[in-house]
Structure 1
Amino acid sequence: MTHTPINPTAIIPPNQPPIPPAPPTVPPAGWPPPTPTPGPIEVHVTLHPEPVPPEPSLWARLAEWLRRFGRPWQAAAALTAAVLPIPGTGYSAATTWAYTVELGRDLGPWQPYALGLLPLVAVLTRILRHGGTVRRLFLLVVTTAGGWAAVDPFDVVTILTGVTG
């Protein structure tokens, strides 16, 4: 393949007048006049470190954690309702449930734990997922009393050896 230079007369015929430049574009009537091109734009940025909030104290963290369970007035109302004696019986709802759980001990060493701790876990799960109301906190107090009634130190001996007292 040979390399031949391109002759400009082969592209543009000789003795042709040059092509005139295109006329300037004029916007139609009623259009705003074109804006002049802006000059250089200067941007100044000043960076300030963002202040770090102080870490909350132990008491503030504890108070925030307790507020997950409910407001203080809800907790006070639920605790009061759970430990006040029921008219006619003389016992509160918490002590009645604790006595009922304790009766499960006649059936075997595992039954009080199931009867006392399963409702406690269910109430805690409900409170942590959906927040505390007076009714849920009332049930928490009552089932906590039942959970304490289910625990007996002698159960470890009974479960491991089968010896009953």
Structure 2
Amino acid sequence: MSDWQDRVDAVWADSALTEDEVIDRIDVLAAERSVDDPIALFERAGARDSAGREAEAEVLYRRALEIGLDDERRTRATIQLASTIRNLGKVDEALSLLRAEYEREPRGPLHDAAAAFYALALVSAGEAERAASISLQALAPHLPLYTRSVTGYAREIADGHA
């Protein structure tokens, strides 16, 4: 698996490739694995997603998640699927997926990424104040000063008191 993933990662790292070349190369690598390999499906989805082919990506993300991914890829696939379907106008479903991911593991390595995409979906749903609150709560721990103040203000926004 490591050699295969290294080759996939090399495709992603090659900034000289066009979006279509990335898709083609990822598809060639995915063909080395079984048709229902969830990791290969996830990589194929990501290639299409980054090329703006969201409808194609959606189907592949859903299939990869249905079959089952390791925890990190499951989180990434959920965030990426939610972002994709938000772009396709399925804001309510995106919100549901992202809220669950955001609340699932508050100290997880991708929690801030989930927060960012959750905030974007909230803006799409017309909930800009709540989006600001989520964003500020994610940002606060990274500030060199004022963490407690920003966290407090973020909570006030969420409570409708700011």
TM-score w.r.t. length of structure 1: 0.27
Q: How high is the TM-score relative to the length of structure 2?
A: 0.27
Give the structure with the higher percent helix: 2
Higher Rg of the two aligned structures: 1
